[in-house]
């Protein structure tokens, strides 16, 4: 039986590590799929439980210095397995341990770097003095100082290489024993070569003096290179920890306890003990512990942490509420309907974590290069050394050629950086997906985010996306001597007795305006025409134009016809003798729709509106909003055909729908976007889900994808540039023409900063305004 799971990977320090782990696991009998995400430090594996288990999988990679961490998975655990004590708030989701370990690892890295930095500064001081003295800028170093440095630098280099550089020496050992090389191997071989060469000319100074420049040691290179790279790794680890803080913030939304009513008493219990149907009390400023339905009381609930909407939402009996949101004012009770891994918050965390761990198609090239990068660099380093010895000796002599060859050998091994390539895509995806989650934009996977930035056509449904999705009173033409409030009161009093949706819209409008409804006597529904009733002794009629024809009351049919073409429904209020007012009810355009469509146009996106309404109404609304193309009077099945037609014309299409009725069209579109109007939403239904979704969030989603992809392309550019420029420079390719030869010290600095700059560039996305 196949099982799919995601594990954290410990001690994975470079993109080549990720490639090695993937290749090893793919070869194991029973493993159907393995995909490592270096940026997230996780691996997704599908394996046959009858043939292999996670412990055995971990043992397969442990000889190479890696291990799998099987985290407790909230998404597949039973509710009772999700328990947490007072001190286990975060760890019940299974992330606390790995973060604690990561912080401990970073603390260890910090202490090693702190011990190496003074030694590196000392070495740079000595190196700089020697360099400046060669150009006669300063006088030569006094013999006493020079002799002291000659004896102290080997001690410093030994400490830095064997203590701070221990991971790199282990890289050499694993390469020799198992034939697997990674970035640690390259750095270890380069710095060890510099160290051993320096040790050799120091120990054999007299016999080697006729053949080599025994005054030119490279202890300083060993010290400074390892310090720079260790510093870079430390800064990279700290930055990477920040890229994934969206998950931690989502976890912190979860309440620790719930106040439940049992046997008539309020009892505070851990949330893992809450069961379906439990009545839970929420007090002002309290966090809602699980999903449910409000049964008593009312309040305003802050859902901003889930939906991204800043304004608290009014909640009354029968409304749904979700875990992680905050009650701002009144107290209320609700019935638990979803607990543990069923809650929307748990689903969001799962979706964000899976999306952050997924790979975008643009990453494929970087992965391919990373997989062969280390062997190629090893070959290039050896070739560069051979070239210096074979060709350089003819022009420079053996001693100088060997010195330059060693510098090139070390420089190539040190500057080569598969890490920047490996981090370019995943760090940007992690930050982008996390930022989207905070805005109520849930991305299913990295591929969807990449596709969205290519979208040039967005198809939307009219009802609920461009319009509010329910009838409401949009205009009043008062023809009587009564005030507007009075005629609304009369009409709403009559309509309040009716079951018609338009009647509900009028009654609701009166309540919104705080207009009291009068008592109605002798109420009667007139089939197909309207209603009538007596208020304060006067008989009133409310209905359509047919009702006024029956009463033989004259009215302006032209103006009513004009507004009817625009999709409005007239409701006429009259007495037996005169028309008092004309009320227009319609599915009103959302106020944010016009601005949203304008912003989408600025992003180069064509807007297409599909609707089942008649053409006149559809075109009127499209003209008001600025929609480019309208397809009216369509059935749900026709939407799928329209998406296909647009794709056949070369458009990259995103479909925004409700995620249920539009399921076929969402599946056909290049990107399916579920516009969730509430918090009760199946977030697996589309590639992107917009919580509390309105059309303005479409703009944010598109911008998010464009910002993220721009960041990825910038990262890949700089990662390639570091290597394309750095490796030839370090090899001495430009030495015959310009006399340029890159010092291993600068190579180490460039290599260290390449990864830091890539992660730093990804973190810039956090500051972007969507």
pLDDT for residue 56 is more than 80? yes
pLDDT for residue 80 is more than 50? no
pLDDT for residue 74 is more than 50? no
Q: Which of 561, 613, 562 is nearest to 587 (CA)?
A: 613
**Tens digit of pLDDT for each residue in 29-48?**
999 988 888 777 888 899 98
- The winner for highest mean pLDDT among 180-189, 379-388, 458-467, 558-567 is 379-388
Q: Which of 63, 472, 439, 422 is nearest to 249 (CA)?
A: 439
Q: What is the pLDDT of residue 693?
A: 67
State the Cα–Cα distance between residues 665 and 659, nearest whole angstrom: 9
pLDDT category at 76 given cuts 50, 70, 90 is very low
pLDDT for residue 633 is more than 90? no
pLDDT for residue 615 is more than 70? yes
Higher pLDDT, 600 or 617: 600
Q: Give the mean pLDDT of 201-209.
A: 85
Contact (CB, 8 A) for 168 and 174: no
State the Cα–Cα distance between residues 640 and 669, nearest whole angstrom: 8
In the set 302, 445, 461, 613, the catalytic residue is: 461
Q: What are phi and psi of 224, to 5 degrees?
A: -70, -40
Q: Give the mean pLDDT of 196-206.
A: 87
Contact (CB, 8 A) for 732 and 739: no
- Is 591 exposed, middle or buried (CB count within 10 Å of its CB: 0-12, 13-18, 19+)? exposed
pLDDT for residue 90 is more than 60? no
Half-sphere exposure at residue 17, Cβ-oriented, CA atoms within 13 angstroms: 29
pLDDT for residue 431 is more than 60? yes
pLDDT for residue 591 is more than 60? yes
pLDDT category at 677 given cuts 50, 70, 90 is low
DSSP 494: H
Q: What is the pLDDT of residue 634?
A: 81
Q: What is the pLDDT of residue 330?
A: 83
Q: In what order do the strands lie in the sheet with 467-478?
A: 467-478, 579-589, 569-574, 538-543, 530-535, 521-526
Q: Give the mean pLDDT of 162-167.
A: 93
> First CA to last CA across the chain, in angstroms?
44
Beta-strand runs (E) in 298-331: 299-302, 313-315, 320-321, 326-327
Higher pLDDT, 474 or 162: 162
Contact (CB, 8 A) for 425 and 438: no
pLDDT for residue 622 is more than 80? yes
pLDDT category at 671 given cuts 50, 70, 90 is very high
State the Cα–Cα distance between residues 533 and 523, nearest whole angstrom: 4
- The winner for highest mean pLDDT among 197-201, 454-458, 500-504, 589-593 is 454-458
Q: What is the pLDDT of residue 54?
A: 87
pLDDT for residue 557 is more than 90? no
Q: Give the mean pLDDT of 749-758.
A: 82
Q: What is the pLDDT of residue 675?
A: 79
pLDDT category at 70 given cuts 50, 70, 90 is low
Contact (CB, 8 A) for 51 and 29: yes
Element (H, E) at 348: helix 344-357
pLDDT category at 768 given cuts 50, 70, 90 is confident
pLDDT category at 8 given cuts 50, 70, 90 is confident
Q: What is the pLDDT of residue 84?
A: 38
pLDDT category at 97 given cuts 50, 70, 90 is very low
- The winner for highest mean pLDDT among 125-129, 257-261, 636-640, 755-759 is 257-261
**Tens digit of pLDDT for each residue in 406-418?**
989 988 988 876 7
Higher pLDDT, 209 or 81: 209
**Tens digit of pLDDT for each residue in 692-701?**
767 888 999 9
Question: DSSP secondary structure string, 577-626?
Answer: S-EEEEEEEEEEEPTTHHHHHHHHHHTT-EEEEE-SS-HHHHHHHHHHHT
State the Cα–Cα distance between residues 567 and 613, nearest whole angstrom: 9
State the Cα–Cα distance between residues 206 and 1, nearest whole angstrom: 69
pLDDT category at 610 given cuts 50, 70, 90 is confident
Q: What is the pLDDT of residue 260?
A: 94
Q: What is the pLDDT of residue 112?
A: 94
Q: Give the mean pLDDT of 324-338.
A: 90
DSSP 287: B
Higher pLDDT, 132 or 165: 165
pLDDT for residue 87 is more than 50? no
Q: What is the pLDDT of residue 329?
A: 81
State the Cα–Cα distance between residues 669 and 682, nearest whole angstrom: 18
Higher pLDDT, 492 or 137: 492
Q: What is the pLDDT of residue 96?
A: 44
| Known catalytic residue at 319 | no
State the Cα–Cα distance between residues 582 and 478, nearest whole angstrom: 7
DSSP 12: -
Contact (CB, 8 A) for 439 and 765: no
Higher pLDDT, 359 or 524: 524
pLDDT category at 741 given cuts 50, 70, 90 is confident
Q: Give the mean pLDDT of 118-146.
A: 82
The rounded percent of the chain whose pLDDT value lies above 70 is 92
Q: Give the mean pLDDT of 217-235.
A: 86
pLDDT category at 207 given cuts 50, 70, 90 is confident
pLDDT category at 684 given cuts 50, 70, 90 is low
Q: What is the pLDDT of residue 79?
A: 33
State the Cα–Cα distance between residues 528 and 346, nearest whole angstrom: 49
CA distance readout (Å), 478 to 233, 306, 487, 574: 74, 43, 8, 11
Q: Give the mean pLDDT of 457-478.
A: 86
Higher pLDDT, 289 or 76: 289
Element (H, E) at 4: strand 2-10
**Tens digit of pLDDT for each residue in 247-275?**
777 777 788 899 999 988 999 999 889 99
Mean pLDDT of the chain: 84
pLDDT for residue 89 is more than 50? no
């Amino acid at each position: 039986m196949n099982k799919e799971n995601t594990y954290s990977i410990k001690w994975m320090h470079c993109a080549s590590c990720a490639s090695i782990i993937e290749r090893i696991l793919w070869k194991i009998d029973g493993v159907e799929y393995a995909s490592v995400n270096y940026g997230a430090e996780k691996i997704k594996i599908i394996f046959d439980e009858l043939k292999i288990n996670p412990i055995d999988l971990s043992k397969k990679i442990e000889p190479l210095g890696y291990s799998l961490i099987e985290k407790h998975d909230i998404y597949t655990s039973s509710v009772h397995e999700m328990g947490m004590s007072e001190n286990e708030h975060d760890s019940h989701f299974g992330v606390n341990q790995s973060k604690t370990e990561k912080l401990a690892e970073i603390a260890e890295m910090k202490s090693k770097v702190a011990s190496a930095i003074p030694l590196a500064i000392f070495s740079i001081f000595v190196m700089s003095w020697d360099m400046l003295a060669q150009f006669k800028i300063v006088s030569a170093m006094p013999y006493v100082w020079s002799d002291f440095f000659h004896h102290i630098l080997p001690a410093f280099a030994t400490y830095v290489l064997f203590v701070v550089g221990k991971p790199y020496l282990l890289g050499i050992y694993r390469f020799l024993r198992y034939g697997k090389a990674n970035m640690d191997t390259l750095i270890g071989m380069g710095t060890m070569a510099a160290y051993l060469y320096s040790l050799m000319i120091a120990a054999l100074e007299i016999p080697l003096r006729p053949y080599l420049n025994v005054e030119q040691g490279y202890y300083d290179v060993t010290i400074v290179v390892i310090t720079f790279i260790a510093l870079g790794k430390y800064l990279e680890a700290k930055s990477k920890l920040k890229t994934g803080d969206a998950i931690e913030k989502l976890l912190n939304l979860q309440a620790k306890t719930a106040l439940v009513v049992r046997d008539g008493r309020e009892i505070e219990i851990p949330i893992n003990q809450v069961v379906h149907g439990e009545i839970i009390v929420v007090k002002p400023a309290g966090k809602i512990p699980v999903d449910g339905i409000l049964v008593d009381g009312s309040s305003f609930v802050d859902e901003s942490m889930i939906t991204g909407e800043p304004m608290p939402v009014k909640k009354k009996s029968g409304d749904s509420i979700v875990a992680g949101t905050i009650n701002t004012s009144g107290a209320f009770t609700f019935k638990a309907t979803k607990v543990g891994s069923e809650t929307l918050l748990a689903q969001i965390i799962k979706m964000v974590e899976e999306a952050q761990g997924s790979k975008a198609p643009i990453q494929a090239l970087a992965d391919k290069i990373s997989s062969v990068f280390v062997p190629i660099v090893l070959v290039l380093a050896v070739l560069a050394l051979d070239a210096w010895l074979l060709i350089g000796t003819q022009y420079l002599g053996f001693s100088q050629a060997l010195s330059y060859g060693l510098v090139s050998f070390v420089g190539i091994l040190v500057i080569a950086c598969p890490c920047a390539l490996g981090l370019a895509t995943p760090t940007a995806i992690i930050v982008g997906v996390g930022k989207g989650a905070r805005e109520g934009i849930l991305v299913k996977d990295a591929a969807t985010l990449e596709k969205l930035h290519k979208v040039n056509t967005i198809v939307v449904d009219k009802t609920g996306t461009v319009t509010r999705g329910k009838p409401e009173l949009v205009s009043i033409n008062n023809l009587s001597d009564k005030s507007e409030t009075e005629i609304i009161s009369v009409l709403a009093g009559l309509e309040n007795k009716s079951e018609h949706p338009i009647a509900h819209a009028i009654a609701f409008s009166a309540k919104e305006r705080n207009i009291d409804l009068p008592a109605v006597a002798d109420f009667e529904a007139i089939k197909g025409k309207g209603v009538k009733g007596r208020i304060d002794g006067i008989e009133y009629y409310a209905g359509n134009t047919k009702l006024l024809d029956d009463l033989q009351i004259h009215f302006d049919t032209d103006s009513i016809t004009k507004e009817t073409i625009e999709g409005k429904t007239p409701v006429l209020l009259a007495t037996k003798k005169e028309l008092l007012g004309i009320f227009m009810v319609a599915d009103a355009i959302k106020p944010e729709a016009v601005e949203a469509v304008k912003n989408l146009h600025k992003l180069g996106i064509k807007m297409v509106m599909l609707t089942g309404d008649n053409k006149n109404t559809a075109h009127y609304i499209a003209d008001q909003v600025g929609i480019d193309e309208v397809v009216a009077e369509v059935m749900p099945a026709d939407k799928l055909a329209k998406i296909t037609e647009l794709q056949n014309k070369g458009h990259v299409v995103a479909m925004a729908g409700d995620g249920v009725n539009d399921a076929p069209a969402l599946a056909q579109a290049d990107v399916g976007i579920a516009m969730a109007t509430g918090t009760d939403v199946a977030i697996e239904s589309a590639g992107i889900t917009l919580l509390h979704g309105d059309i303005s969030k479409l703009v944010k989603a598109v911008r998010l994808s464009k910002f993220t992809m721009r960041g990825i392309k910038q990262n890949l550019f700089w990662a390639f540039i570091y290597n394309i420029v750095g490796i030839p420079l370090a090899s001495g390719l430009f030495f015959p023409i310009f006399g340029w030869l890159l010092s291993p010290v600068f190579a180490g600095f460039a290599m260290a900063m390449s990864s830091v700059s890539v992660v730093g560039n990804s973190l810039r996305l956090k500051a972007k305004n969507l």
